[in-house]
Structure 1
């Protein structure tokens, strides 16, 4: 397997959808997207009118997808943008050695899907669909059968794996569960000779502080923009 260069992290969605996760999406050489029940992300080969038109063709009238970009998007009239916020991309620069507390940590699979969706609905860690768990490995912790914490892998490109869906039930926050799960994923990713990375809203200082403590640092910042088909007649005449 060839290893991606760090510059591929500048286009993580496109790189994932044209390599290791191509089977989880659809599109062509101009625009690609994940299947809607996997993840709400799409990407362009380049920001050209032809690529935006290809993206438009991938969307149903009631669908929307999210794109990462270095600068604010300038779309064709057929697409309507809504700025969601700024995302920091953080990459692991070091890994703590020593033992990690993995007691009670379980592997999550298809039988756990509804419990995973329920926890996401309560905690709002970010987008998570019925098939998101197919993007990578997911682990969690249960208490008396109830799923109270989880974390997993999302975008994967050669040499790099994104940690995502880190969430803890409100009743169990402050007990270090998120850190434990992230350390386990970090260790496993490194053991595969890959490097963990993640995305976090630039305004989420508490999460950024946790990630920095776990060995991550900000690599770059993206605009996150939600895109959908424009309503008929909504284009501004110029």
Structure 2
């Protein structure tokens, strides 16, 4: 469990997302249309030639939890660590609007919403990484949540967002409670990542029963153009 949470990109690519992973030696990444994420088995794993096989010149990818020293020709930039939060007990769920599964028929709406309020890491095929759910109002996608990283025993709550026209109605809270409990009911530990620069979201998750497990390192890795 600790390994899956301490090195979430690699562990997801080496388990639940193995079928789509692009792999070279001790490194693996998601195809760019799924997510800009790369993982390594360990910070000191042998990686000669692995990055070059996976990342195009000028392309940026992101690492979480574990990062090696940047080899020649690469630039590794450390962001402020994220808060990694877990929830280990069922949370109370109030009555709320209907939650509906989202599938390929909703892709344009999902991409429009994430481009507006969750723009950095959601890609055209990100929905292929797990289940996604939403709340609809007036024929529109008002809010959504989904699953992204994970392992046999863990699952990340991700893309928790609300359209600006529908904020203040508790939709993100309702979705997070529901998917958290659904995940726990399947015997899987829900976790999520939130920026310390977003104290409002962090406080919301704490009120919902999540606790900070650790601060986890977050980096960008850029292959300097040849």
TM-score (norm 1): 0.88
Answering whether residue 157 of structure 2 is matched by residue 163 of structure 1, we say yes
Indicate the residue corresponding to 2:31 in structure 1.
Answer: 35
Indicate the residue corresponding to 2:49 in structure 1.
Answer: 53
**Residue 83 and residue 63 in structure 1: after superposition, are their counterparts in 2 closer, same or farther (change >3 A)?**
same
Stretches of structure 1 lacking an aligned partner (at least 5 in a row): 233-238
Answering whether residue 91 of structure 2 is matched by residue 96 of structure 1, we say yes
Return the match for 2:181 from 168, 171, 187.
187
Answering whether residue 70 of structure 2 is matched by residue 75 of structure 1, we say yes
**Residue 186 and residue 126 in structure 1: after superposition, are their counterparts in 2 closer, same or farther (change >3 A)?**
farther
What is the aligned length? 226
Return the match for 2:82 from 87, 101, 115.
87
**Residue 199 and residue 31 in structure 1: after superposition, are their counterparts in 2 closer, same or farther (change >3 A)?**
same
Note the alpha carbon deviations across 1:88-113, whole angstroms, 9 max, x for none. Answer: 1101132224x543533211000111
**Residue 48 and residue 231 in structure 1: after superposition, are their counterparts in 2 closer, same or farther (change >3 A)?**
farther
Q: Which runs of 4+ in 1 moved over 6 A?
A: none
- Rounded Cα–Cα distance in structure 1 between residues aligned with 2:3 and 2:222: 28
- Rounded Cα–Cα distance in structure 1 between residues aligned with 2:11 and 2:48: 17
- Rounded Cα–Cα distance in structure 2 between residues aligned with 1:103 and 1:177: 8
Answering whether residue 18 of structure 2 is matched by residue 22 of structure 1, we say yes
Indicate the residue corresponding to 1:146 in structure 2.
Answer: 140
- Rounded Cα–Cα distance in structure 2 between residues aligned with 1:223 and 1:180: 29
TM-score (norm 2): 0.93
Note the alpha carbon deviations across 1:69-106, whole angstroms, 9 max, x for none. Answer: 36x75211121123333211101132224x54353321
Q: Secondary structure at the match of 1:23?
A: coil
- Rounded Cα–Cα distance in structure 2 between residues aligned with 1:124 and 1:223: 20
Q: Secondary structure at the match of 2:49?
A: helix
Answering whether residue 2 of structure 2 is matched by residue 6 of structure 1, we say yes
**Residue 187 and residue 69 in structure 1: after superposition, are their counterparts in 2 closer, same or farther (change >3 A)?**
closer
Indicate the residue corresponding to 2:201 in structure 1.
Answer: 207
Stretches of structure 2 lacking an aligned partner (at least 5 in a row): none
**Residue 59 and residue 197 in structure 1: after superposition, are their counterparts in 2 closer, same or farther (change >3 A)?**
same
Indicate the residue corresponding to 1:235 in structure 2.
Answer: none
